[in-house]
Structure 1
Amino acid sequence: MTAPTPRTLRVAFAGTPAFAATALQAIAEAGWAPVLVLTQPDRPAGRGLKPQPSPVKQLAQAHGWALAQPRGLRLDGRYPEDAAAAQAALQAARPDVLVVAAYGLILPPWVLALPRLGCLNIHASLLPRWRGAAPIQRAIEAGDAETGITLMQMDEGLDTGPIVRAEAVPIGPLDSAGTLHDRLAALGARLIVQALAQAEHGPLPARPQPADGVTYAAKIDKAEARLDFTQPAAVLARRVRAFDPAPGAWAWLDGAPLKVWGAHAQPASALAAAPGTVLAAADDGVRVATGDGVLVLTELQRAGGRRLPVDAFLRGVPLRVGQSLAAPA
């Protein structure tokens, strides 16, 4: 049996959601026990809105790793006492490198300068495309053929640092943000382990990001999730996939939101029906008029109900031809 590779690099980690926890788990399994884990404070969640620990916190607690949950990191910001405590914890941990994945707080200059090898960010796009908060969703929404993972040496800009590693992933016609998230999380975990193994032997080579092709992945606003049927069916179908599992695209049914979890576009000649009008409702899909083409709804959820394939949904909630799913003006 091959002996495990000895690890001397002192690795700290900053991240919050499941995407980050996947990377943290891989780092630990590869032999680097994190000297400190930073994650966001517990947030209210669930029906009772009780504070819930992040996936990264749960993992850190399960392994007994040192943990900090500052509300902010700017020493001159809103929470200077949190920032000072985090600074003391990081200085005491003496990390050689800080790995960052979907942390949710901007790192001020003092954090970027503290580790000997700097801060490595696992970003879910092929930079410089889709800098910002929601790269997975925006790539699907835009109809990109591929996306990927970029490992970036962080600087003070918004996802502007030099590229250490990058690998592409195709976006399939049925990919949702959820399925793509899981593939990218696994890829990010693999790439960061490779990079840390290389960093054991010295600084990582990096190349500047291209100046051309910069786009920004703005944070998802819940208002975007309402389906505007005046738009083309192809655009709406991508939006349904981009907003699955959150916040969930929705239409309007009898005065209440109707979540749309599955949909695809069909071309159609000029339609006489107004956008949002149900053209047909059958077991293979509810066909709805749009500004260009027909949107076929294949997975639906009414308020208080469960996600259901369209045939099961229609058995409980019949839809009639001519009914409108468009929100009232």
Structure 2
Amino acid sequence: MEGLQYNGQPVNFVAGSVQGYNSTEAGPPLNRTELYQLWLNQTFLDDRFSFRVGKLIPSMNFGYVGRPFVTQTDPQLFTSTTGLLYTPVFVGPAMLGFIPGYYNSAFGLYGAWKSWGGPGDNPATPNGWYGQVGIYDGRGAQGIQTGLVWPNFSGPLFKVAEVGGTWTPYADAPEIGWGSVAVGGWRQSGPLTAPGGAFESQTGGMYAYLVQKLGKFRETKDQNGIVGFVQGGWNSSSTALMHSSFGFGLTFIAPFGDRPLDSYGFGFSWARLNANPLAGYGFNSYETMLQFYAQYHLVGNLFIQPVLTVLPTPGVMGATSPSLSGTVQLTFPF
């Protein structure tokens, strides 16, 4: 069980960003108190199969490139693929507005299979293939705040499936860095509309991503090295905010030996927006975004992260020049 309290401002619109340079702001209402997660998880056959039911966050399972990972040398040390704050690393632009996620979680069913997890397997070092599927309350695509209302499965549904593989270094092949690859597809039932009058009874799309640790700065037990990712997505929708997207990024983990918990990184994201007058969103034809960050460890579990975001081509109509945004985030994982 998890609760969420959010109070914010429409910073993405002010910067002219449709993709969302700041993932913390996910749209109105910008002041809310909600039951964020409430679910039951059951595993079978040495944890190879799992089933989950309840109020879930599908975007944390499907198409999410920012997953944490650990090292074989010390499972207590972990980091994430990226510390980028922009929305595309959490929700692919081509799925934004359809897949439930922060902060509109949704009730649903989730099932997964993985090829590892049997006797003798180390859960901290997965190697193998996996598949996962989910079906959720899809009213979010109609503008319903699913994070604030009771579940309803008699209306629109969001269905998604993903297959992929993950690998960690083997004892006889330490040059193989941690990595993951996945492809997925989704379907959203309707009816679906856009502000300008566009209508469709259903829609769908697909996505893919690749994450790979590219190398290490030094052979020590602390988590260090360079991690890269590539992601993309597409949909066939006439009512979507965005039709397709492509992005990539690099993360530099602990490049300085005396600062083992610091990291630095950058990312690029491009999205083709729904500029059709029948949709009525008032977008430019596309948006590009560059983001740079440094995540500094202060003390204990406290981190501070200054972030600089440049939109060479903002997506909001009327934004005729680039925008520059600065963000500072204070994080306390627990």
TM-score under structure 2 length normalisation? 0.23
Greater helix share, 1 or 2?
Answer: 1
Greater strand share, 1 or 2?
Answer: 2
